[in-house]
Amino acid sequence: MIGLGFGLSAGVEVLTLDGDIGRMNTVFKFYLHVWMMWGVVSAFALWYLFAVMRPQEAFLRRAGEFNAAFIQAPRFAFGLVASLLLVLTLVYPYFGTRSRIHSRFDPSLGAGNDGLAWMQSENIVEAGHDNFYRVRYDTSNEDVDLEMKNTRDAINWLRNNVTGTPTMIEAVTVRYRSMYARMAINTGLPDVLGWDFHQSQQRVKFANTIELRKIDVNDFYTTQDTGVARQILKKYGVEWVIVGDEEENNYGEGGMKKFENGLDGALELAYENPSIRIFHVIPQDELDAGAVAR
């Protein structure tokens, strides 16, 4: 395992996976395996050294021959040095984590384990005013304010009312300057296209499939043809449709009109607040049964 670890660390100096960014991911991923193997080896080596080879006994014996009065001193000295080294390994986790927290989080917002609490705060970074979050969209060079309380309420509704892992569809917006994939990120439910950047960045050969999904999402929200929109839902097996401020600000009003009649009866409104509507896609067999009954 030691040899394999050295082999992997040497191998990434020669070979690089296709489509990598330089060789960043090749080194990063293979080095994870190196450290795991060496961690196992280190645990075994410590046992073998002190339980089998037991060099400490010979050392203590010689020390005892030198001066029986100080026979315990080397043992205590070794323990002290080992303890000091252990403490030193904890220096970075403490100070590194502390520095990261202070550089990334505003302590004035208070502490807690609610990841959505910032959506209710009156002191949000980049906020336009109380309880609003400022974002930018492809359709405008100006910032737009979103009332985050409504987004939080919609997220909580999905968490509390949707079971399993049904597919959603929501806006694909500007990275880092929008609430990109906000429903999928905060609920764990899959999107037709969620956060795509690392996939297109690190899996270059498959980037075209990501682009096709992005085109389909854009077409779904911008088209005024309900037939086209319904075909996209069928293509990806979508069960929940998000229509909110993100979608309206990113795609404009034209394509939003088709949701007023639920894509000609294909959708049923399941949740609504002043900023967001969530539609459930009616299964095709139910639509067919209803058409026969009429």
pLDDT tens sequence across 170-225: 998 877 666 889 999 999 999 999 888 877 877 777 889 999 999 999 999 999 99
pLDDT tens sequence across 18-35: 777 778 888 888 999 999
- Chain-centre distance of CA 2, in angstroms? 33
Q: Where in the chain is the domain with CATH 3.40.50?
A: 148-293
Of 186, 185, 182, 156, which is closest to residue 171 (Cα–Cα)? 182
What radius of gyration, in Å, describes the C-alpha atoms of the chain? 29
Angle between helices 73-89 and 91-104 (to 10 degrees): 20
Q: What is the Cα–Cα distance from 190 to 193, expressed in whole angstroms?
A: 8
Phi-psi region of 240 (alpha: psi -120 to 50; beta: other; left: phi over 0): beta
Q: Three-class SS of residue 173?
A: coil
pLDDT tens sequence across 275-284: 999 999 999 8
User: What are 235's strand-pairing partners?
Assistant: none
pTM of the model: 0.68
Fold for domain 148-293? Rossmann fold (3.40.50)
Q: What is the Cα–Cα distance from 63 to 14, expressed in whole angstroms?
A: 49
Q: What is the Cα–Cα distance from 154 to 277, expressed in whole angstroms?
A: 8
